[in-house]
Structure 1
Amino acid sequence: MTAECTIGGHLDAPTHLRCVLANMLSDPQLHSLCDVVLIVQDERFPAHRAVLAAVSTVFKAMFTNSMMERDAPEIELRSLDKRAWKMAMHYIYHAQLDIHDEPTALLLLATARMYQLERLELFVENFLVSRVGMQNCFALLQQAHQYDLSALEGACYSAMETHFDALALSPAFLQCPLSLLLRIIRSGALLVKSEVAVFDAILRWTSADEKQRAQHLDALLKHVRLEKLSDRQLGAMGRSAVVFKSSAFRQTLFERLTRRGAHDDDDDKVEAALQMGCHLKAHRRDASVFTFSHVQRGVTRMAPADEEEIVRTPWALDSNTGIVWRLKIYPRGYGKAKDLFLSMYVQARSNCARVKVDVSAKFDIFLINRKDATQTISFSSSHHFTEASDHWGFHRFLQLSQMRNSALGFLHEDTDSLLVGATLYMRGSDTAPSSSGVEVCS
């Protein structure tokens, strides 16, 4: 008995069996006990019928039924790669294997399926699952479908949902079949910064073969959550000749634009900045997402230092959850950050006087850079908001010297204002009950 076959002085059965099987092949004196030789591409592999039958239903049928191979001393295995079979034999007798690349894994997978080596097939599938990423998820999904591998299929779908923004820009995405595209864009687990990403992906896919694919626009756009797009975004996208062929989109565009009210100059500036999406983080589409923003004036020309140095944005109602949100802003800092940093916090309250706020949420607080929206500052956190703990945020959001320097683009000097806001991400089961007909607190 070798040292590897014992653990703490006691026999370890799985290790013992691996040692026995390994010795059956590795010990030259035991080679004479092999009762069959498998031939693959002129290479000979001594083996034991009993071992092969125990791991493969194909070999079991071959050696226990009246087949010509039953008593044959040598059996030629056709249509196999000898390198793959050598690795398969190593796994059969050692129950372990080192795989370093996907092509080798796929050769092994074909071999395992051909001879019904179920444990080897599971081993290879687990390896492929560990290798799934943005670059290979389309190719591996085809293999998952070919061999009916549910774990690999799930990993490929998960990669597509996680990396959708980048994946939609890849050449492989343009070859995506309609059924797969529909499967992806209707998923609630899809991670996107904005529905604009889904919209743009559909447009790009359709434009790659407009003659054949334009007919599917209605079916595709049905899964884009158009209610989350602004009128400006809908209008810009509607100018595409391809998209305008969708009757459903034309109707939605018409309904949205006819409801659009007047906007003042600040409204347009806010919407233009937010439309770039630099403040957004990727999130699951089945989350309840609520964004509010405000042009907060009077951030540097405040009352004397002995008065309360805080400004609050107006309450914003999330009608999906029945919660109102606002930002508490300390333009001169709060606590240990006073006179050093801008401090900002999200505050929550129920819109119903009879219901106490009780909600868990992830959130981003953002400060838009008006000169270059790509330089927008955004910090993320999470909190369980209750009556006793109704606000959460950041003491050190931005150094005061940077905030007050209008040349950096955060402070609008003429109006003494900052463009601030927050995005809340909540799962449906985490939200507080909504009560209609109750006036929002202000």
Structure 2
Amino acid sequence: MTKFAPALLLAAIFAAPASAQDVGEIVANDTGDTAWILTSSALVLLMTLPGLALFYGGLVRSKNVLSVALQTGAVAAIVSVLWIVTGYTLAFGDVANGWIGNGRAWMLIELTNVRLGTTIPESTFVLFQMTFAIITPALMIGAWVDRARFSWVVIFCALWSLAVYAPVAHWIWGGGWLASTFGTLDFAGGLVVHTTAGVSALVVAIMMGARQGFPDKPMIPHSPALTMVGAALLWVGWFGFNGGSALAATDDASSAIINTHVAASAAALVWLLIERIGFGKTTMVGWATGAIAGLATITPAAGFISPGASIFFGALAAVVCYGAVLQIRNWGIDDSLDVFAVHGVGGILGTILLGLFLSSALGGTGYAEGMTPLGQLGAQAIGIAVVALWSAVLTAILALGIGIIAPMRVKKKHEIEGLDITSHGERGWHFGD
């Protein structure tokens, strides 16, 4: 039997439950809080599968709808596995130096019964944070639709989740240096999710180059109806995204959800108004894009500001993000589905506005002891600069390195024919026999 001991030991480790505590070490948790975070986890996963797949799928041409959906599903799957293996411990392992988490929770073999500073099991916290790790790289898919090679997408997003997302999550949410040293705030992902994904998407769009025919050839969304359904799922799922970030079923969660809904509503309405004034018509795609811009902008501040302020966040999000969409296109950059203009710019805008509207005089929760409004604005600006620079540099390195073994882009003839058939041998729609 001794020769089988190493194998048996390895099997025991991999088969061990997420919580490695003895019965005598059990700490009571709040079942209501736990139930809410489990529900929020499901809502956030709904944002990616199927929300984001439908949202992006409707915006591309019909010959590429399956490629977008498959990329979304594959990224969700591989990031989930990596999160268990090492992603979680890099992001939320014990703080050793403020830059990256230690290896305590590798393979989730040493989780505590209750996550420090919360009333929920650490396994519940792992699940909730996993859904954030899933959707963040998936957001970038919108920047390279119609032309990216599937193998490159999967490898890039997998490594990006470890090299870009996990460290930034640690710096801000895991007790790392941005939060502990400078006081940078991010309630639910304006920096960790939207700035990282938005900036990285812009870098990849520049490196990969424009789609064949861009910008002269019209590339009209093939199904605004699908986009509307996807946007609605994202909107509803965002209640878990922002409300769940309170990590408890409390007034903070309720306030975050109210702010989320109001900001999305205001942004959607203002975007439609801009379209009506500028083009004489309002569009379904405009409504959906405006709503997402409002959701991205409110995310970093959702639990810190008043509902009245969230109306301003949403309205300004529509104006600024709409302008960003036009400017990116004027520069000739094919960020195909406006990932940077909506998510990146929205997340950055919300992060800056948070520094001002945190003020109790404006209905916010108030500044930390010893922190001034100017100091908080500075902390937010430092966070934006650091996260944007880290995301841009690491993205460029990863994209180029992976491109050596798996080219970033499909062949021209495959792009013209469509990725659904040339890359996957399927069609999104079959009519007739």
Considering fraction of residues, name the structure with more helix: 2
Higher Cα Rg, which structure: 1
Higher fraction of strand: 1
Fold in common (TM above 0.5): no
TM-score category (smaller protein): under 0.3
